[in-house]
Amino acid sequence: MHGTCSRAARFRSLLVLLALPALLVAWIGWCVIGFLTSDDPFGTTSKAPCDEAMEFTGVPLPAGARDQQCVTRVWLDTEYDVRFRITRKDLDAWLESEFPGTVLDSEFRIGKGDTCAHIEFGDQRPSQAVAADVSVVYEGGGTALVHFEPFDV
């Protein structure tokens, strides 16, 4: 029976033809699930120097801030996440000197924060933050963990 395919060979060819579209569908599904479940689907988050993050706001880190960690997210807008620990007294003094009238409120908390505030910066030069969200978690011993998140859009 020369020139004819055996049943097994035809079956293997059919499996190969069906496996390729199935693999493509599985890969697309994996990509979609990964995109929907990721906090950063476009890979836009990276570590940033805290000096750069605070320059974005036009305001220095408060005196007494420690354990600073800063990241930036850039996609349609620019956002920094500045985290630091500070005494409650130093935090209150910083807010009063740099953002007069800012009141930390527990009514509209952000995430796990104990208190929060939204700060509008007013007139800023181009490529600087226009506002920031602040959330504070009060830790023991009079210490506050601050999440300061300035953004430009």
Q: Does residue 14 share a domain with residue 72?
A: no
Pair 27, 53 in one domain? no
Same domain, 69 and 126: yes
Stated as kind and residue range, the H or E segment containing 3 is none
Same domain for 102 and 68: yes
135-148 pLDDT per residue, tens:
999 998 889 999 99
Q: What pLDDT digit, counting tens, does each position of 101-130 carry?
A: 888 887 766 666 788 899 998 776 778 899
Distance CA 41, CA 29 (A): 15
* Amino acid 122: pLDDT: 79
More confident residue, 113 or 133: 133
Domain, as residue range, for 106: 45-151
Tell me: do 130 and 108 sit in the same domain. yes
In angstroms, the Cα distances linking 143 to 25, 109, 112 are 52, 18, 16
* pLDDT tens, residue by residue, 18-58: 777 877 777 777 766 666 665 555 556 789 999 999 999 98
User: What is the tally of structural domains in the chain?
Assistant: 2
